[in-house]
Amino acid sequence: MSESTTGAYRAIRGFLRVLLRLFFKQVVVEGTENLPLDRGGLLIAGHPNGLIDPALIIAHFPGKIIFGARHGLFSWPLIGPLIRHLGTVPIYRASDESDLSRVEKMRANEESLDSMAQEIANGSYSALFPEGVSHDMSHLSDIKTGASRLYYRARTLTDDVVSRPVIVPVGLYYDRKNIFRSRVLITFHPALPLPESLDIDPGEERSVLRPAVAGLTELIDARLAEVVGATEDWHIHHLMHRARRLIRADLAWQNGTDYRDPGLAESHLGFDRIWLGYKARMESDPKKITDLVKRLNRYNRYMGALGIDDHELSAKPGMGSPLLPLLFLGQAIAVYLLFPPILLLGTLINIGPYWLLNWITRKVADARKDEATVKLFAGAILYPATWIAVAIMAWIGHEELRSVFPGMPDLAVSVVIVSIAIGAFGGYLALVYSEMSAETYRAIRVRVMRHRRKAIIQRLLEDRSGLCSELIALGEGLDLPGRRMPDGSILADSA
């Protein structure tokens, strides 16, 4: 893998890492060992979250990577100069508005593919989103042939057979893709194995290239569908996640172990296991699966109405000791009332840009897939601009005070630095306190609800155990990813 990166590229990548770490509460990267270091390759991924998707890959890919992006992005303020310095090449789609004719678009695309193919042949990595568009669907959009054509073009430019490029699927898994302080998992999957019929160097012969491109496109479509966990609709997608959560919670309870958050990687494994079992049994026994889904839907509706998580059905009540209510009351007072001055100032400084950013997002973002992009890049400008404006006002106030009190020391530089620090650090404290506030409120509400709804909780606990057994049975005899442990946790195959 080529490691040559310009200073501008490294600076932008570092900038993106900082922005993404501020936006996401947790960014988990797995599978970098699946990236062959002795050759170039093409990364392919689903495209669920606008410009956040390429930003995550650029920020966490171990080396320089060349993306292809629709040409319209190059005219955007901030985004255009950013992607130019990253070496991004323009992709011209026939459906996009442009001053170029269809023939000119095709010629420009050929030049873009040649540029990216040469990077791959030289041992670097390029990346494409084969769908061509970002979207909010629970399944893939139509896969275009660009990724397949790029791959074969790179093969024809690679002299050494041993160093032929690879195609590496990348999984981008968001728990709530448009929500600030959510989590994301980036997984570099093993390189796509090519069947003998596609493991060829078609050169420029159309009679060989055309069927090879069509076959590879179908293979990419099938593999990406597996990687993204494509489902027919969002309801069944969320239902599969409910299924994996209830299994994890019930087995931990049966095993007598404390429930722990499975994390994004384990959660994705759990989803894959349930989804594969569901699809297999839907083909062999659809009537049984339909009945199971009805009962799972009923359980899901009750859990949603109560607003509790699966593991909280069997969690210890926690209100039995007379001291615990006092501890919870003390925690609530500390979280809600005892705001330190820096937190209060930080909140006052940042509340304006916070609401303005929400308004901008509603006006600019056409769909959920665009919300995180707008929040990330608009916030990167809006918040620092606000802190600088506050610092200027503090400096002006300081100078006014000195004109009234001539003996006052000149602390202009310190006033500016402290003002910016309060804006940034105070905003961070406000964020932490808001998360603590939400967690404290939830802890109190769940305990009160459990005390008042004992009969419903018991019924749901029985339903959970029954569903757990049947859902686990879906995977019997199937080759499922990972290994399920007695407490419900799942170990990756490599562990």
In a domain, 1, yes or no: no
Q: What is the pLDDT of residues 334-359, one digit of tens each?
A: 555 555 677 778 888 999 999 999 99
In a domain, 2, yes or no: no
252 and 153 in a common domain: no
The per-residue pLDDT for 186 is 97
Instruction: Answer yes or no: are the C-beta atoms of 290 and 431 closer than 8 Å.
Output: no
Of 228, 263, 280, the domain-final residue: 228
Enumerate residues 6+ apart whose C-beta is below 8 A from 343.
426, 429, 430, 433
Query: Which spans in 49-198 are helix H?
Result: 52-60, 79-85, 102-121, 146-157
Of 199, 228, 257, the domain-final residue: 228
394 and 346 in a common domain: yes
State which amino acid sits at residue 387. W
- 417-429 average pLDDT score: 88
State which amino acid sits at residue 477. G
Distance CA 336, CA 318 (A): 22
Residue 282 has, within 13 A of its CA and on its CB side, a CA count of 9
Tell me: pLDDT of 153 over 70: yes
Structural domain boundaries, residue 181:
7-228
Enumerate residues 6+ apart whose C-beta is below 8 A from 361.
371, 374, 375, 378
478 and 442 in a common domain: no
158 and 68 in a common domain: yes
* Mean pLDDT of all residues belonging to the chain: 87
The CATH number of the domain holding residue 100 is 3.40.1130.10
Domains in the chain, number: 3
In a domain, 75, yes or no: yes
420 and 294 in a common domain: no
101 and 120 in a common domain: yes
The per-residue pLDDT for 319 is 44
In a domain, 388, yes or no: yes
304 and 336 in a common domain: no
171 and 32 in a common domain: yes
Distance CA 335, CA 338 (A): 7
307 and 339 in a common domain: no
Look up residue 38 and give its DSSP letter: S
387 and 356 in a common domain: yes
Place of tokens 């601009």: 385
Confidence of residue 431 (pLDDT cuts 50, 70, 90): confident
**How many CB atoms are closer than 10 A to CB 123?**
20
Q: What is the pLDDT of residues 5-30, one digit of tens each?
A: 678 888 889 999 999 998 999 999 99
In a domain, 411, yes or no: yes
β-strands 166-174, 183-188 pairing: antiparallel
In a domain, 167, yes or no: yes
463 and 436 in a common domain: no
Counted residue by residue, the chain has a size of: 495
Q: What is the pLDDT of residues 303-337, one digit of tens each?
A: 999 988 999 998 754 444 455 556 556 655 655 55
437 and 414 in a common domain: yes
Tell me: pLDDT of 110 over 50: yes
In a domain, 264, yes or no: yes
